[in-house]
Each structure stands twice: as C-alpha cells, then as structure tokens.
A and B are shown apart, each in its own frame.
Chain A
Amino acid sequence: AQSVTQLDSHVSVSEGTPVLLRCNYSSSYSPSLFWYVQHPNKGLQLLLKYTSAATLVKGINGFEAEFKKSETSFHLTKPSAHMSDAAEYFCVVSDRVKTSYDKVIFGPGTSLSVIP
C-alpha cells in the first residue's frame, strides 16, 4: 500500500541556515513524487516534482530534492532559509495501484519556522 511519512511535524531553522525536510514513502509501483508548499490560509503551490528522470530535482525558490530509491526517500533541502519560507510543506506520492489512474497520497505535513 502507498504511504508517505514526514518524519518531523515541525522544523525550526535560523534565517540563512540550511533547511532539511524529510520524507519517506512506500510504493509498489514506480512513483512520482512531489513537494507542495502551503502558506497560511492559502492554497497549495508545487515546489518540485520527480517523475523518473533525474534523481536530483530542482524546484522553485531555491529548493531541491533527491530521489533515493534504495532509501525510499525524497528529502527536501534548501541551502539558505529565508523568512518567506515559513510555511507548511507536504510530500506527496502519486502511484498506480489497482486503478487505471494515479492516486495521490499526501504526507501529514511539516511546519517550517524561520527564526530571524
């Protein structure tokens, strides 16, 4: 069965320091993986996606993620946090299991706080 685990419900970093948001997944197919960001009382915005091309994926706003099949991980990183990065981040897996279409499963989210 598909599942997504975000190991940290909350991460706090100082402005200018690196960001690491962890995500592990389980899938019985070749999944596509996404990271979405949600600012308070806003909709979701796609940061980046992996769809079986390059394993290191670069997204918007300086974020990137690396797909590691052996570790079933898709951690999100950014070299230097900015105050505007404070938001909720969701790791998402899209998989095709017993259906004719790809079903999307959201992780529980990680809340990122950036300290000035």
Chain B
Amino acid sequence: NAGVMQNPRHLVRRRGQEARLRCSPMKGHSHVYWYRQLPEEGLKFMVYLQKENIIDESGMPKERFSAEFPKEGPSILRIQQVVRGDSAAYFCASSSLAQSYNEQFFGPGTRLTVL
C-alpha cells in the first residue's frame, strides 16, 4: 500500500509564474490536508478537502492560492503569480476519517523555490 505521494518533490519558479503541486492520498483515504512549512518554522494548516469539496480553507491566503480534490485524480494546490515569500515546503496529508483518532499520514513534501 503506497503512502501519500507528492510531486514534484522540488519545484523552482520565477516570480509571476504559476506553481502546481500534486498530492495523491493513500488508497482508501478521502480526506486531504495541505500544510505549509516556512524555513525554521512548524507546519501551518492551509486547507482541508474531501472529494470535490473544500471543507475548511481558513488557513489559505485569499488571493493567488486555490486547492481542489476532484472526483478522479490527485488533489492540486495551485499558486498563481508566485512571489519569493511563497518559497516553502508544502506538505499534504491524508486520512480515512476526519476524527482525531485517525492519524494523518504525510507525504514527503514539495519544496518550492521562487527565484
């Protein structure tokens, strides 16, 4: 059973370009969470999605950032017109249920560098 997959592992973009990060949850998991980790900091919650629904996007910036989790295919975190401050590691996690006793399994992360 493969774990949570994220790609690409490393992404380099110039200011103003778009960044598209993908996350494939563990098999059987229908809950996906995105987190951002700035250098020397902990993980900050961005958004929580279930299939075709955004449940909580309270941690995601209102502009330039969007997320989706379609019926088929991976979850996508999209950052438009990237700026240097977007440089960070972006982690995706998945779980089978939303309850706390269900562990969130983390992917290896995508490290975004904005030049």
Contact = CB atoms under 8 A, between A and B. Distances in A.
A82 interface: no
A95 B100 contact: yes
B41 A108 contact: yes
Interface in B16-69: 33, 35, 41-45, 48, 55-56
Given A32-B100, A34-B103, A51-B100, A90 B109 contact: no
Given A32-B100, A51-B100, A102-B99, A107 B42 contact: yes
B91 to A, nearest CB: 7
Given A90-B43, A109-B42, A42 B100 contact: no
Interface residues of A, number: 27
Interface string A79-102: 000000000001000111001111
Counting contact residues on chain B (CB < 8 A from A), the size range is 20 to 34
A108 B106 contact: no
Contact of B45 (A31, A95, A103, A108): A103
A43 interface: yes
A1 B101 CA distance: 20
Interface in A36-59: 36, 41-46, 49, 51
Interface in B52-103: 55-56, 91, 98-101, 103
Interface of A: 31-32, 34, 36, 41-46, 49, 51, 90, 94-96, 99-109
25 contacts: A31-B100, A32-B100, A41-B111, A43-B106, A44-B43, A44-B91, A46-B103, A51-B100, A96-B100, A99-B56, A100-B98, A101-B48, A101-B56, A101-B99, A103-B56, A104-B100, A104-B104, A105-B45, A106-B42, A106-B44, A106-B45, A108-B41, A108-B42, A109-B41, A109-B42
